[in-house]
Structure 1
């Protein structure tokens, strides 16, 4: 087996709950890790039976709190728990634990001898929950006392630079089996692209217990398989992605990866979180990412990192798409064309003659939308909390501008035929009508307005809820995401996306 295994981490309180999750996710996984540190005390008495009941290769882990686990007891009690779980080995290896995870400072000769005698491989692990590990290869070499051990290093990167370092040092690391993982928000690429670090396995968690492992960045097995097509990735796979920060939610991977599958392209599109755009471009150059969707807050700052731009980027002064050709990065903007297509679909018209448009916000998305509104013949007013930014954008297209506050209510009413919300206010909200989740809380809808919010998570924002209650027609940003994504797909691959209903 050349690809990394998919290991389902089990953190339920009972063995039966864990077994039920194995059955649910069996088609998506290769190995399971029983995290006995999460089991109820009386459940620990039955750990020895688990491999037979699970009927899948099993790792036994009893993780200490200092290493990110949930085990409260002392080392003597933990040693006894390991011993009880490994005792009375069955002649049928399938009824024994295939692997046991011992930390690099946990050396109990009797347990190590038992593991070797029973055919149980030792995963020798090191965790740094606070920062990166610089000497990764040297650390692995030091932990691997015998060929029977699989060294594992998991660390929390401080930035995307630390993840880049992991991929660079592991590029040719093929001498022996090992597990390498960057945890947390920056570490997602190390999990999806585990084949590039030649990692023995990648860890996943079921949605049912994701709260136990989400902070370290686990993905659920269905997502890893059905969105990222993990089992099909290889050294010939072209890599694309989306960057932003914090990038808590994005549906772009689903759209792009579905397109690759539909068009029989060996490619994958992944989230690459980075709070510094230069770190992101450095990661892409090092790992071999060939195209990138760019979102908040990098749409303007990315211009300093690229070699050339198209006409729309030159006009809008923001790029949401960069692609590498002949070693150089080219900047494009698909937000404007994507929004224009979505707005035409929403309104049922091609032009905006005699329509007055309120554009809420003056950031990168607002620049693209103002450009599209101008091209469609609309008249607009830019509303923004920082009046200087509103003026700068408005002056560019001959639009009006005003501060985004109750003081500009009259101006807002004048330009309310179509209301376009371009800020992040309301993103991730649960529909709570709190004014902090509604950028135009001061405006009372009449019911005649067309309201377009570029946010798509949640599908209905607090502002949209108020508009719906008043009888307005509303739309969210899913259609814009779709149309700009289609154009990005063509820029990346040279292939038309095709009908997404197929």
Structure 2
């Protein structure tokens, strides 16, 4: 069964911009469970299923394979992965290859044979390959991602083995490793499945649709992975708009460490889809922001949101920086200019956060605004002296507040306080700091963020002097800090308000279009 989608094929009334297939790995103890999963895969939107024979507890090759092919509602790919290639099968090699040959003879659309075993498999076929079945020859590297030259040589060896489709899977030690696999994919003269395993390799599984990959793998549910770093089918289709990714799709993303908690892809991809904007927004787990930006220097990689801990380092990578961001000393938004590829950095954190805090003090709807800042004259305490702390301190000072910086390291607090014209405290000193009532507290650290939700930067007793408490953490929405502040009678503003507020300007810079504010709120609320 030939599976190729036209780039202009209509799917649910939408243009499909790529022919890349979505394959659902089927891993279960029994054939009956596999049949149930196959139906789920069909309903989920998969194009084909990978039957992982090595996951079966007991197995009668002739009978079970016939049943699986006969009752599967989708085209089938049979894989019988041995332990030495990262699978679960530890039995006789001849029996394993015989089972794959049986799958071909019974009508499997694809079988996967490891490069290390393909010579033996070819010999066992005696030239009798069924015409309707394609052989995927695969190589898995669980250690690293080789050089472009070595990857090219590997692809050539796989192709020379008689493969109909080449499959390579490597491991990402750094997100820049993915660039080498993209380079191999886009220049491949044969159908190729190429992916990079692990969280740092996630975008390889999404952007293969942009660079011409034959298929990608999507799990039926979170946590049931056949290889590290696989997204779910639901995420591919409904979070990343996989069918709408094409060769000319612009890539955006959130740079951070950690980053998997970020809700930015939900926000931007939903907005992109609503207006048919040809862009995709992905999670980018980055260790070295300068190395990342230098590696992905194509104008196809058009813009990035920047979060903890890269906001200050990112500023140094930009050829041009907005004066406000330069004053703050941090950027949270990077735009690659389409005409010359140079990077422009700006800071939208202080706009989103300060607006949210002002609205909290006024008690108004987050989207509304009123002239005159309720922050004027207030004592504004910022916890944290990193990029977000600098942004909040700068923004509060601009609104006429008196600023105090509290940080675990006093010297860093003092440095920022001197920069913005404020006072400094250590975090321990903050516990007994209550010179007046009606103060505003803003936590800009990651303390209390998932998964360490029981942590808080300040004791409940110390919160009683504050009229409003803001937490930049938005996962969870109500942190321990906010819950205890509310119990003390303070107004609270969550990181969600800041997150959406700062996203308005980023979206407009990414797209050149007005931000869909109500859509943003309905998406995150």
Pick which of 355-364 and 469-478 moved more: 469-478
The structural deviation recorded for 1:132 is 0.8
Counterpart in 2 of 1:496? 514
Which of the numbers 76, 91, 99 marks the counterpart of 2:110? 99
CA–CA distance in structure 2, aligned partners of residues 285 and 230 of structure 1: 23
Counterpart in 2 of 1:20? 36
Which of the numbers 240, 246, 263 marks the counterpart of 2:275? 263
Counterpart in 2 of 1:373? 396
Pick which of 298-307 and 465-474 moved more: 465-474
Counterpart in 2 of 1:92? none
CA–CA distance in structure 1, aligned partners of residues 410 and 387 of structure 2: 16
Q: 1:430 to 1:16 in 2, by over 3 A?
A: farther
Counterpart in 2 of 1:66? 84
CA–CA distance in structure 1, aligned partners of residues 489 and 39 of structure 2: 47
Which of the numbers 207, 216, 221 marks the counterpart of 1:193? 207
CA–CA distance in structure 1, aligned partners of residues 357 and 75 of structure 2: 52
Which of the numbers 199, 220, 223 marks the counterpart of 2:232? 220
Is the Cα–Cα contact under 8 Å of residues 320 and 332 in structure 1 kept in the other structure? yes
Is the Cα–Cα contact under 8 Å of residues 169 and 196 in structure 2 kept in the other structure? yes
Residues matched between the structures, number: 487
CA–CA distance in structure 2, aligned partners of residues 497 and 43 of structure 1: 58
Q: 1:442 to 1:109 in 2, by over 3 A?
A: same
Counterpart in 2 of 1:418? 440
Q: Is structure 2 residue 23 aligned with structure 1 residue 11? A: no
The structural deviation recorded for 1:444 is 4.3
Which of the numbers 140, 145, 158 marks the counterpart of 1:127? 140
The structural deviation recorded for 1:324 is 1.5
Q: 1:499 to 1:352 in 2, by over 3 A?
A: closer
Q: 1:154 to 1:489 in 2, by over 3 A?
A: same
Q: Is structure 2 residue 206 aligned with structure 1 residue 184? A: no
Counterpart in 2 of 1:400? 423
Is the Cα–Cα contact under 8 Å of residues 437 and 465 in structure 2 kept in the other structure? no
Pick which of 113-122 and 2-11 moved more: 113-122
CA–CA distance in structure 2, aligned partners of residues 422 and 479 of structure 1: 14
Q: 1:140 to 1:413 in 2, by over 3 A?
A: farther
Counterpart in 1 of 2:13? none
- Deviations for 1:65-103, whole angstroms, at most 9, x for unmatched residues? 33222223342443354355455x2xxxxxx32111110
Within 5 Å, which residues of 2 pair with 1:87-486?
89=106, 96-106=107-117, 107-109=120-122, 112=125, 116-117=129-130, 119-134=132-147, 135-145=150-160, 149-173=164-188, 175-208=189-222, 210-213=223-226, 216-286=228-298, 288-325=300-337, 326-327=339-340, 328-348=342-362, 350-405=373-428, 407-411=429-433, 414=436, 417-429=439-451, 431=453, 433=454, 437-441=455-459, 443-446=461-464, 449-486=467-504
Q: Secondary structure at the match of 2:254?
A: strand
- Deviations for 1:272-312, whole angstroms, at most 9, x for unmatched residues? 22201122112331472011111112111112211111121
The structural deviation recorded for 1:211 is 4.3
Counterpart in 2 of 1:93? none
The structural deviation recorded for 1:131 is 0.7
Q: 1:414 to 1:79 in 2, by over 3 A?
A: farther
The structural deviation recorded for 1:386 is 0.6
Q: 1:165 to 1:286 in 2, by over 3 A?
A: farther
The structural deviation recorded for 1:6 is 0.8
Pick which of 67-76 and 276-285 moved more: 67-76
- Deviations for 1:159-182, whole angstroms, at most 9, x for unmatched residues? 123212222333322x21111111
Q: 1:80 to 1:336 in 2, by over 3 A?
A: same
Pick which of 468-477 and 137-146 moved more: 468-477
CA–CA distance in structure 2, aligned partners of residues 401 and 430 of structure 1: 27
Is the Cα–Cα contact under 8 Å of residues 358 and 412 in structure 1 kept in the other structure? no
Q: 1:377 to 1:110 in 2, by over 3 A?
A: same
The structural deviation recorded for 1:111 is 5.3
**TM-score, normalization by structure 1:** 0.90
Is the Cα–Cα contact under 8 Å of residues 240 and 269 in structure 2 kept in the other structure? yes
